[in-house]
Amino acid sequence: MKRAKKTHCTVCPTWEIKQPDRCSNTLKNGLKTLYFCTHRCKERYLKTPEKFS
């Protein structure tokens, strides 16, 4: 059985997203999906995305 790659919040990378398929705080960035642990983290990213590259 193949292990799923761990998914972490884009803003606070120590926070693991346990069920990424159920995460409602996401953004599509081209072919990549960005995950956020909270709506606040998503807002922080949208204000200054270059800070989290």
Judged against a pLDDT cut of 70, whether residue 32 lies above it is answered with: yes
Give the count of beta carbons closer than 10 Å to the beta carbon of residue 41. Answer: 19
- Mean pLDDT, to the nearest integer, of 25-45? 94
Domain boundaries along the sequence of the chain = 1-53
What pTM did the predictor assign?
A: 0.83
User: CA-to-CA distance for 37 and 30, rounded, in angstroms?
Assistant: 20
Percentage above 90 pLDDT, the chain: 77
Q: Which residue has the higher pLDDT, 6 or 45?
A: 45
Give the count of beta carbons closer than 10 Å to the beta carbon of residue 29. Answer: 11
User: CA-to-CA distance for 17 and 21, rounded, in angstroms?
Assistant: 9
Mean of the per-residue pLDDT values of the chain: 90
